[in-house]
Amino acid sequence: MVGVSTTPRRVAAALAVTALLAAGCSDPGQRPGSGPTPAPAPEVPPPSSAPPEDPATRAAALVAELADEDLVGQVLMPYAYGDQATTVSAGSAAGNQALGGVDTPAEMIEKYRLGGLILVGFSADDPTRGNQVTTNVDNPKQVRKLTTGLREAAARLPTATAPFLIGTDQEHGVVTRIIDGVTMLPSALGAGAAGDPALTEAAWHAAGTELAAMGINLDFAPVADVLVTRSTVIGSRSFGADPQRAADQVGGAVRGLQTAGVAATLKHFPGHGHSAADSHRDLPVLDQSRGRLAAEAWPPFTAGIEAGALAVMSAHLDVRSVDPGVPATFSDKLLTDVLRGELGFQGVVITDGMNMPPARRWGPGEAAVRALKAGNDLILMPPHVGQAHDGLLTALRDGSLPRARLVEAATRVLTMKFSLADRGTPELSTLGVPAHRAAAQALAAGAVTVLRGRCDASGVGGPVTVTSSGGRAHTRAALTEALTSAGMTVVPSGGTLVHLVGYGDGADDLRADAAVTVAMDTPYLLARASSPTLLATYSSSRASMAALADVLAGKARPSGRSPVKVSGLPATTCSG
């Protein structure tokens, strides 16, 4: 299982890295390899905990050879404008000039000797669109061409022996960058409703295989936040409100992704689901006690770490009980003392987007230095990559950024890269294969929940008319197609009314005359619906619409349980 290890092995690898760092950089002000040449040491076999091909050993050896500029580049992961690596539009070139003084993504990689690049984009229902300033993903073929070009640029760097990191937010559900041409899973909340970690693992393995086929080796997923508030920015991105059930799901998603050769990222530590505010707009406050956070917010992170997650994303959250007034992204107490010290995480800590308002209280250079000193290893989406790079380099050379901290961060990043090496890239023909669609369909079928109405009589008779809140023509068409395939007649009007509501909808989007109301995002709105039958799919994916059609046609039993509390309604009317 490449990229996934047990806790003892992770600790052993970390100890090996620490020993190598101590040998190569005992003085924080001295670069590895500088100073007098030592006398030749007698050859001894490597310790058993760090064989020659161990990723941590390879990383430390490479770091010892790097110039300052390369060390700094390894801890930066910006976005870029343009849907190709070397040929971009005039507008994209202007964007890249403003971001880093270059025209193309390839030039950005070479100029700043980058460790990775994030592919960005957004959809209409995306709660993270506020910091997605461009889009460079369209379809799998285009993404594969782009990632190939990015890797060709990175192959000219001194770090070329390690895979170049290409990441994206492929959470499935409302935050999904690549939609067309891939196997779409139901949302995390849908997986929580299904409640079967094995189904989640299989589905996320299929999704990870497809990411790898497109040349992506780092997914900023799964969301490990526990949904204890009605957070609109987290919402159906979470696996649910129960810490242990969410933890089981997070572990399954991590194993699925990483057995496919894609690094998983647990986010958003220390727990964005414990605030209803949106860190894309301001700095949310977590006023829960430390004990409550440990019991309610951190179990999914612990489960993901135990499953071998290679990365954790820090969040722009003010945790008053631990480090009041300091965003977690910049908090040594949270990232070093809690995440590493208490939770035992030894992998790569990645900042949330540094172009978000809580991180922009400082300039890009100072913010990058502060984030690295707090314990982050990879700086994501700086608002100006040139200033972030120059700020880190200046701080390194004037001593305000300890060299040992930068070396440690770069070593962790490269260790993760070498953990992902030698997997090969699946063919694009892997996308959408029957096995992948079946895995998504099984998870979606397990998610469908009946919160009002008889479990054994959820099917509707006669012709069906499908309606929805505004702007959901695509979803209505998908359900219509699925109902027709299930043998039902769908008519424009006059049939049994099935009404769909989704992300961002409110009471005004409900219909009093609907026989069935279906929630395709968080199910809270169902508490205000008057329909005799209330269903939840938690997702509007094609797999979810097919699963819903089977329930409406009476061909399948809705076996899901709502993973969040809906006022006045049970988790399900089905028993057993």
Q: What is the pLDDT of residues 478-529, one digit of tens each?
A: 999 999 999 999 999 999 999 999 999 999 999 999 999 999 999 999 999 9
Q: Above 80 in pLDDT, residue 448?
A: yes
Nearest partner of 407 among 72, 163, 76, 159, judged by Cα = 72
Structure tokens that stand for 551 in this block = 């329930």
Structure tokens that stand for 573 in this block = 């009317």
- What is the rounded average pLDDT of the residues 451-455? 91
Residue corresponding to tokens 């998603």: 253
Nearest partner of 279 among 311, 244, 238, 233, judged by Cα = 233
Contact by Cβ (8 Å): 369, 329: no
DSSP 327: B
Determine phi and psi for 215, rounding to 5 degrees.
Answer: 90, 15
Kindly report the CA angle at 235 between 233 and 238, in degrees rounded to 5? 110
Q: Name which of 217-221, 264-268, 458-462, 528-532 the model is least confident about.
A: 458-462
Residue corresponding to tokens 């500088």: 34
Residue corresponding to tokens 């061409």: 145
Q: Above 60 in pLDDT, residue 140?
A: yes
Nearest partner of 20 among 48, 60, 58, 51, judged by Cα = 60
Contact by Cβ (8 Å): 98, 75: no
Which pLDDT does position 200 carry in this prediction? Answer: 98
DSSP assignment string, 3-50: T---HHHHHHHHHHHHHHHHHH-SSTTS-TT-SSPPPPPPP-PPPTTS
Q: Above 70 in pLDDT, residue 353?
A: yes
Confidence of residue 457 (pLDDT cuts 50, 70, 90): low
> Hey, how many other C-beta atoms are within 10 angstroms of the C-beta on 576?
4
Contact by Cβ (8 Å): 290, 246: no
Non-local CB neighbours of 281 within 8 Å, separated by 6+ positions: 130, 357
Q: Which residues lie across from 327 on neighbouring strands?
A: 318
> Hey, how many other C-beta atoms are within 10 angstroms of the C-beta on 393?
18
Report the C-alpha gap between 161 and 58 in whole angstroms: 10
Report the C-alpha gap between 475 and 473 in whole angstroms: 5
CA atoms within 13 A on the CB side of 318: 15
CA of residue 401 relative to chain centroid, distance: 28
> Which is it for strands 533-536 and 449-452: parallel, antiparallel or unpaired?
antiparallel
Which pLDDT does position 347 carry in this prediction? Answer: 98
Report the C-alpha gap between 523 and 534 in whole angstroms: 10
As annotated, the active-site residues are 280, 352
Which pLDDT does position 273 carry in this prediction? Answer: 83
- What is the rounded average pLDDT of the residues 434-462? 91
Report the C-alpha gap between 17 and 412 in whole angstroms: 9
Which pLDDT does position 423 carry in this prediction? Answer: 76
Contact by Cβ (8 Å): 501, 517: yes
Structure tokens that stand for 528 in this block = 């205000």
Q: Which residues lie across from 41 on neighbouring strands?
A: none
Q: pLDDT tens across 248-296, in order?
A: 999 999 999 999 999 999 999 999 988 755 556 678 899 999 999 999 9
Q: Where are the beta strands (DSSP E) in 30-158?
A: 76-77, 116-118
SS3 category, 496: strand
Which pLDDT does position 358 carry in this prediction? Answer: 83
Q: 369: buried, middle or exposed (CB in 10 Å: 19+, 13-18, 0-12)?
A: buried
In Å, what is the CA distance from 297 to each residue of 223, 280, 312? 12, 20, 14
